[in-house]
Amino acid sequence: MLDINLIRTDPDKVRENIRKKFQDAKLPMVDEVIALDKENRETMQRADYLRNQRKVISKQIGALMGKGLKDEAEAAKAQVAAMADELAALEKKEEELAAEIRKRMLVIPNIIDDSVPIGKSDAENVEVERFGEPVVPDFEIPYHVDIMERLSGIDLDAARKTSGNGFYYLMGDVARLHSAILSYGRDFMIDRGFIYCIPPYMIHGNVVSGVMSFAEMENMMYKIEGEDLYLIGTSEHSMIGKFIDTILDESSLPQTLTSYSPCFRKEVGAHGIEERGVYRIHQFEKQEMIVVCKPEDSPMWFDRLWQNTVDFFRSMDIPVRTLECCSGDLADLKVKSVDVEAWSPRQQKYFEVGSCSNLGDAQARRLQIRVKGADGRKYLAHTLNNTCVAPPRMLIAFLENNLQADGRVRIPEVLRPYMGGKEYLG
């Protein structure tokens, strides 16, 4: 959510940003906010005037009564009563205007960074850099479910009976590999100085609206019927929510946290959930990175976060590339975002395995996450998040890149301690 002072002082910048994101339908909202804000400030000024006058006249009533001027005192009381009625109406109007302003402010997109490429959709995202040499072996790479089934590692038929499409049973060594990757991801991030955390898996609605846009919420979140609780779609939601309504001492920054959680997503608009496959699913697990920092430090942390994911995948010999998200592909709260994509030898192309985002002060403004500087001045923090690893999607890249000609799957050295020393599966 933007600072309303920006709309007051530089509405053209806000309009231009909306155009860059190809959301022209939102342009009228800028003028609507300006008009509502003007009316709201006038309402507040009138209310403040009445409150002041009410105090002045109330003091006069006692003096008039002391002088025996009963009629004048009664007239003053009537005047105070009339002010109270008008003031009540004004306070109600203030609430209504503030709600209308906030409704629009929650929809107007955040100002994107100047370095973000301009484009309408993810088709116009820009490759930044490749890490590792993508290899296509001289033998056929089966579909990832076929690899798992050969290892007796997945049961989709049973999951469809219990839960429907988009769910799975992982079994045996594949299930162990899934857990090993998460454990390695946890230790990898701890070794890089992040504090390990297991957050709540359900959060209140005000936290949901604080960390994401309404459209994202509708397409992603599962609501617990009859309760003000939502299942998290990523641990970023509850990890950023951890700081709601807090004032952090500047000396405590940056807050660098790595969190494990299961994640639950509707995947609305995902063109259907595959009956076979674990690329788009309703339930998965993830190791996440979260940073809360000073505004001037967020660009540096952004680069460090996506680099962590690149280093993690390269430590398992999986080729990856970074992709700069264009303006039209950025969620409304994001200032800048980079996707990390892993190489698929079977498809002979890259696919997304993680996303790194700088949200500026958007989440902090919604959730009131403030910092107290050494000079006593308070300001909004910046928040960032990034995926370290999210199996089972990551298993697709892992299995394809480590499959051997004889059907076995090689276990990279860094994972062997988590797999009982095994060098191969199969």
pLDDT tens across 38-96, in order? 999 999 999 998 888 877 777 777 676 777 777 777 787 787 788 888 889 999 999 99
Average pLDDT of the chain? Answer: 93
Furthest C-alpha separation in the chain: 108
The predicted pLDDT at position 243 comes to 98
pLDDT tens across 246-271, in order? 999 999 999 999 999 999 999 755 55
CA distance 217 to 205: 10
Q: Is the pLDDT of residue 366 over 70?
A: yes
Q: Look up tokens 């109270």; give the residue.
A: 84
Q: Is the pLDDT of residue 182 over 70?
A: yes
Q: Are 283 and 376 in contact (CB under 8 A)?
A: no
Q: Which residue has the higher pLDDT, 245 or 276?
A: 245
Q: Is the pLDDT of residue 170 over 60?
A: yes
The predicted pLDDT at position 83 comes to 83
Where do runs of H (alpha helix) occur along 113-155?
Answer: 144-150
Q: Is the pLDDT of residue 1 over 90?
A: no
CATH assignment, 4-105: 1.10.287.40
Q: Which residue has the higher pLDDT, 227 or 80?
A: 227
pLDDT tens across 102-147, in order? 999 999 999 999 999 999 999 999 999 999 999 999 999 999 999 9
Q: Are 355 and 302 in contact (CB under 8 A)?
A: no
Taking the CB of residue 114, how many other CB atoms lie within 10 A of it? 6
Q: Are 323 and 128 in contact (CB under 8 A)?
A: yes
The CATH classification of domain 122-425, taken from the options 3.30.390.30, 3.30.930.10, 3.40.50.2300, 1.10.443.10: 3.30.930.10
The predicted pLDDT at position 138 comes to 94
pLDDT tens across 4-32, in order? 999 999 999 999 999 999 999 999 999 99
- The SS3 of residue 283 is strand
Taking the CB of residue 378, how many other CB atoms lie within 10 A of it? 11
Q: Which amino acid is at 291?
A: V
How much is the average pLDDT of 344-364?
96
How much is the average pLDDT of 405-419?
96
The residue ranges of every structural domain in the chain are 4-105, 122-425
- The SS3 of residue 425 is strand
Count, residues in the chain: 426
Q: Are 381 and 253 in contact (CB under 8 A)?
A: yes
